[in-house]
Amino acid sequence: MKEAENNPIVSLIASIVSPFIMLFGLYVIFHGHYSPGGGFQGGTLLAASIILIRLAHSSHTGQLQFPAKLGTPLGSLGVLIYYGTGLAALWWGGQFLNYAFLPLAEEISLRRSWGILLVEIGVGLAVMAILVSIFDDLLEEEDHD
């Protein structure tokens, strides 16, 4: 974006608020089974906390926190976790994404709980990485012209 002077108040407030947004995003991801929220919302909150640091500080600080070249590999890893869970259920004899066939626990309900948690971690990782990399791609051309 435009070269704005580094405002200390904005930087301080962003530094204070950003970890709490990140913590709330993790809470939303890990409590997605039985409360509103889930992988998409939690991933968006994580991306919002990272984008807040990138907006308030210099771009160098944002790159230290989450390097831009990490976006595509992390997004791909999230998609792989999602499809890996589904294909693992397929491998152990069930249907695609049928968590009851995953050999994670003894009870069926616990198996479903762990399966949903795995899928939501994958979705959250993919959404966070892709949203941050969209933001980086929007800002990237500025350096060249």
Provide the 8-state DSSP code for 143.
G
Return the number of the residue (32 or 122) whose C-beta is nearest other proteins.
Answer: 32
| Distance of alpha carbon 8 from alpha carbon 47, whole angstroms | 23
Terminal CA-CA length for the chain: 13
The contacts of residue 126 (CB under 8 Å, 6+ apart) are: 43, 74, 75, 76, 77, 78, 79, 82
Positions that interact with other proteins (CB under 8 A): 1-2, 36-38, 40-41, 44-45, 47-48, 51, 55, 131, 134-135, 138-139, 141-142
CB of 87 to other proteins, least distance (A): 27
- Residue 85 belongs to what H/E stretch? helix 71-91
Closest CB to other proteins among residues 101, 135: 135
Q: Cβ of residue 31: shortest distance to other proteins, in angstroms?
A: 12
Q: What is the DSSP letter of 98?
A: -
Using the minimum distance from each CB to other proteins, give the nearer residue, 107 or 145: 145
Minimal distance in Å, beta carbon 104 to other proteins?
25
Distance of closest approach, residue 138 Cβ to other proteins, in angstroms: 5
Choice between 59 and 100, CB closer to other proteins:
59
